[in-house]
Amino acid sequence: MATSDRLKMLIDYFPTAINTGQCLVFISEDWRVELREQNNPSFGQNSKNVPIIRVRVFKKALNGEFVPGHYEDFQIEPVGELASQIERYIQNAIGRNIRENV
């Protein structure tokens, strides 16, 4: 599965993200954040077929593994507004500026 066009557009907004070919990842010593496009057409698609970007937040546990925490689905048409809302969500979830580093 290749990186979607929507995720490729988001790379310009998040210069610290790593493109794995399947998702965009922000990673630090304590956090991992993934942005993935949901590909199931029946999963919450609206009449305009705006893709859903799922943002998953992982926190590093004491054993060193990243444990999945919460996630949120974003379905916003203009990429600039989508990036802005995702950035706000991540910053509030982890308490750090993702444009510098997670």
DSSP string for the chain: -PPPHHHHHHHTT-TT-EE-SS-EEEE-SSEEEEEEEE--TTSS--TT-PPEEEEEEEEE-TTSPEEEEEEEEE--SSHHHHHHHHHHHHHHHHSS-TTT--
Residue 47, pLDDT above cutoff 80: no
Give the pLDDT of residue 58: 97
Residue 45, pLDDT above cutoff 60: no
Give the pLDDT of residue 15: 87
The band of 101, judged by pLDDT with boundaries at 50, 70 and 90, is low
pLDDT in tens, 51-95: 999 999 999 999 999 999 999 999 999 999 999 999 999 999 998
Please compute the mean of the pLDDT values over residues 38-57 and round it to a whole number: 74
